[in-house]
Amino acid sequence: MNSYCPHCEDLCEIEERTEKETVLVKTESIEINSQYFVCQKCKRDFSSMGQEEKNIEQAYEIYRQRHNLLHPEDIRKLREKYGFSQRQFARLLLWSEPIICQYESGRLPDVAHNEVLRFVKNPLNMRDLFLTNSRRLNQRDIESIRRAIYSVVNNARELFEHQSNWLIRTHFDYDGGAHSGNRRFNMDKFIQMIAFFVAEMGSVYKTKLNKLPFYADFLYKKLYGESITGMVYLRGIHGPVPKEYDEIFGLMKGLGIMDSEISEDGDSQTERFFIKVGPNQDVFSKIELDSIKNITSKFKHFSASQIEKYSHEEVGFRETKKWEIIDYEFAQSLSID
């Protein structure tokens, strides 16, 4: 094809070529398939503006994937979800005013900023950030930002209520008898108990996190004749587990109460939880809370495999078939008191 060659300063026959090239993004070397033209007359190469843009975009894309960075489009969508202007969003995050505009136009977010953007995807985190930073905003911004955040937060709450009610209806329709420890299942109490354990222990492996509420509920039943949360426990493979624990932990993550990391452990994967928003202890009576604290101090230093082994000695575990409900009658023979 014919195009203008900047070397010959004339219209020449040119050919497009692709070559591996290493370019520097921030401080990292990245290999791309670089496109350029070679003039058939002078044999020298050059690249067009369009090619340069494509090459840079290719390098940026690799860099984004490497660092799990948000795309310009994601950032725009996130901002629009809350109905902020670019300026309002930057102010709320205490960043310089033009920066959101730059990110939405393709500038690579720096890693710390990227973390913050991921964090505020959750409306409850956004609300917390707003409560912390609102003093730094002007009155007119405060009002419109508040309105925008709270309408999104309410939607998140509604979604939680909806999922939570669905779970209770479908999986926890017990009349509060021997399966649930003479109490009806209380989702909020269960969630706050889990949050309490995760907050107190710093970070907890899933295997361990499944045993702790079992001990708290069964010990309370043994001492006071009823469970704390009304949770139903099953005889899992690695010990007792709360019914529908994956769903409930997922809900807690969705609510921004805790988060988790998956780590590879040989062939298997293990999930470790850490807290994001502290527990609300008001849902417990003083005796309930003392009992939960008692379980915390007893098992705080147990590893996941230690508590697993420990729980395998419980009569309720030994005498229940795989994946069946562990009856609260076994609370009487619990190894701790």
Tell me, by CB under 5 A, how many residues bind Zn ion.
7
| Nearest distance, CB of residue 47 and Zn ion, angstroms | 13
| Nearest distance, CB of residue 8 and Zn ion, angstroms | 3
Stretch that binds Zn ion, among 12-20, 71-79, 85-93, 130-138 (CB under 5 A): 12-20
Given the complex with Zn ion, which of 2 and 27 has the nearer CB atom?
Answer: 2
Binders of Zn ion among residues 20 to 39 (CB under 5 A) are 39
| Nearest distance, CB of residue 19 and Zn ion, angstroms | 18
| Nearest distance, CB of residue 72 and Zn ion, angstroms | 36
Stretch that binds Zn ion, among 11-19, 53-61, 215-223, 284-292 (CB under 5 A): 11-19
Does the footprint of Zn ion cover residue 126 (CB under 5 A)?
A: no
Given the complex with Zn ion, which of 12 and 277 has the nearer CB atom?
Answer: 12
| Nearest distance, CB of residue 39 and Zn ion, angstroms | 3
Does the footprint of Zn ion cover residue 8 (CB under 5 A)?
A: yes
Does the footprint of Zn ion cover residue 6 (CB under 5 A)?
A: no
Binders of Zn ion among residues 190 to 219 (CB under 5 A) are none
Binders of Zn ion among residues 39 to 98 (CB under 5 A) are 39, 41-42
3-class secondary structure for the chain? CEEEECCCCEEEEEEEEEEEEEEEECCEEEEEEEEEEEECCCCCEECCHHHHHHHHHHHHHHHHHHHCCCCHHHHHHHHHHHCCCHHHHHHHCCCCCCHHHHHHCCCCCCHHHHHHHHHCCCHHHHHHHHHHHHHHCCHHHHHHHHHHHHHHHHHHHHHHHHHHHHHHHHHCCCCCCCCCCCCCCCHHHHHHHHHHHHHHHCEEEHHHHHHHHHHHHHHHHHHHCCCCCCCCEEECCCCEEECCHHHHHHHHHHCCCEEEEEEEECCEEEEEEEECCCCCHHHCCHHHHHHHHHHHHHHCCCCHHHHHHHHHCCHHHHCCCCCCECCHHHHHHCCCC
Stretch that binds Zn ion, among 1-9, 199-207, 218-226, 291-299 (CB under 5 A): 1-9
Query: Which residues make up the interface to Zn ion (CB under 5 A)?
Result: 5, 7-8, 12, 39, 41-42
